[in-house]
């Protein structure tokens, strides 16, 4: 069933806008499709512009505090200006491409708490601008991402939390102004290890997988043995035992630090 959201009417007797998503379940690199329906009010109105985009609520660190900020990371203009007749309905279909780097919001059959990503609708009319509420989408893992997540599960790691942070991880193919961190509680066999954090940074061919143990706030240090970044092909990931790969790295680091 599609997701619907009704924007507020634009002034007395003004138009109203409804956004309908055909399917809110998507994957990075996919397309979210829908339709924007503008309902004319009691008078004719000049529509100056209509656009849809993708927005994420991310964490911004500064002045010893964390703030939330809405970041629009994709925007598409739908058609040009036109006059909306009183009482008329104008429908604009759209297809919005999901960037490959888009954070996942659902896996293992559940929505990740704190992941706030969705479609925004913006209507320009009579020198006014009306931005609608967020129409949430569910971004599911790519098969290659699912393979890494499954490997953590096979090793006994449990999901802790996920967030999106404004900033850039150096040495990766990152282009968006923010990235996702997925945190896992470690199992008992890795005593001394509190948690592992996982970040995916994908494009249309492959993805960077960034792992870090005992993360220090705001620091990604490639010189530290608790940091690892490697590349996984989106089409040729099946030939690797990812649980074995992760266990080898964790065991090597743990033995050097006398953790395990």
- Residue 12 has what pLDDT? 47
State how far Cα 31 lies from the chain centre: 13
Task: Supply the DSSP symbol for 246.
Answer: H
pLDDT tens for 94-127 read: 999 999 999 999 988 888 988 999 999 998 876 6
The pLDDT of 126-130, averaged and rounded, is 61
Residues shown for the chain: 260
Whether 178 and 71 have beta carbons less than 8 Å apart is answered as yes
For residue 150, give the 3-state DSSP assignment: helix
- Confidence band for 129, pLDDT divided at 50, 70 and 90: low
pLDDT at 65 exceeding the cut of 90? no
pLDDT at 260 exceeding the cut of 80? no
pLDDT at 191 exceeding the cut of 90? no
Which fold does the domain 3-139 belong to in CATH? Immunoglobulin-like (2.60.40)
- Residue 224 has what pLDDT? 55
Domain residue extents for the chain = 3-139, 143-256
- Residue 241 has what pLDDT? 97
CB atoms within 10 A of CB 202: 23
Whether 201 and 172 have beta carbons less than 8 Å apart is answered as yes
Question: What's the Rg (C-alpha) of the chain?
Answer: 22
CB atoms within 10 A of CB 127: 7
* Residue 81, burial from CB neighbour count under 10 angstroms (0-12, 13-18, 19+): exposed
Question: Mean pLDDT of all residues in the chain?
Answer: 86
pLDDT at 223 exceeding the cut of 60? no
* Residue 59, burial from CB neighbour count under 10 angstroms (0-12, 13-18, 19+): middle
Tell me the torsion sign for CA atoms 3, 131, 37, 87.
positive
Backbone angles phi and psi of 38, in degrees to 5:
-105, 120
The structure's pTM equals 0.86
- Residue 81 has what pLDDT? 87
Q: What percent of the chain has pLDDT over 90?
A: 60
Q: What percent of the chain has pLDDT over 70?
A: 86
pLDDT at 2 exceeding the cut of 60? no
pLDDT tens for 6-63 read: 443 445 457 888 999 999 999 999 999 999 999 988 888 888 889 999 999 999 987 7
The pLDDT of 57-84, averaged and rounded, is 89
- State the residue for tokens 């559940």: 110
pLDDT at 67 exceeding the cut of 80? yes
86-123 CB burial, b ≥16 within 10 A, e <16? eeeebebebebebebbbbbbebeeeebeebebbbbbbb
């Amino acid at each position: 069933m599609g997701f619907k959201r009704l924007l507020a009417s634009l002034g007395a007797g003004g138009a109203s806008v409804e956004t309908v998503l055909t399917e809110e379940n998507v994957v990075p690199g996919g397309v979210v499709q829908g339709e924007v329906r503008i309902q004319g009010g009691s008078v004719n109105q000049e529509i100056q512009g209509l656009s849809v985009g993708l927005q994420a609520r991310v964490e911004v660190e500064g002045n010893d505090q964390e703030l939330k900020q809405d970041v629009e990371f994709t925007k598409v203009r739908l058609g040009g200006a036109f006059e909306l007749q009183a009482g008329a309905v104008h429908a604009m279909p759209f297809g919005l491409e999901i960037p490959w780097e888009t954070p996942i919001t659902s896996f293992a059959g559940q929505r990740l708490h704190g992941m706030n990503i969705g479609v925004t609708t913006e209507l320009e009319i009579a020198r006014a601008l009306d931005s609608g509420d967020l129409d949430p989408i569910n971004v599911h893992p790519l098969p290659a991402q699912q393979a890494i997540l499954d490997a953590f599960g096979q090793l006994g790691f449990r999901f802790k939390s996920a967030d999106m942070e404004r900033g850039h991880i150096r040495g990766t193919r990152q282009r968006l102004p923010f990235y996702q961190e997925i945190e896992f509680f470690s199992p008992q066999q890795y005593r001394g290890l509190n948690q592992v954090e996982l970040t995916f940074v994908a494009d249309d061919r492959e993805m960077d997988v960034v792992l870090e143990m005992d993360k220090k706030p705001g620091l990604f240090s490639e010189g530290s043995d608790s940091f690892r970044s490697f590349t996984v092909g989106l089409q040729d990931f099946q030939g690797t035992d990812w649980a074995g790969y992760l266990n080898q790295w964790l065991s090597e680091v743990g033995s050097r630090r006398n953790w395990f």
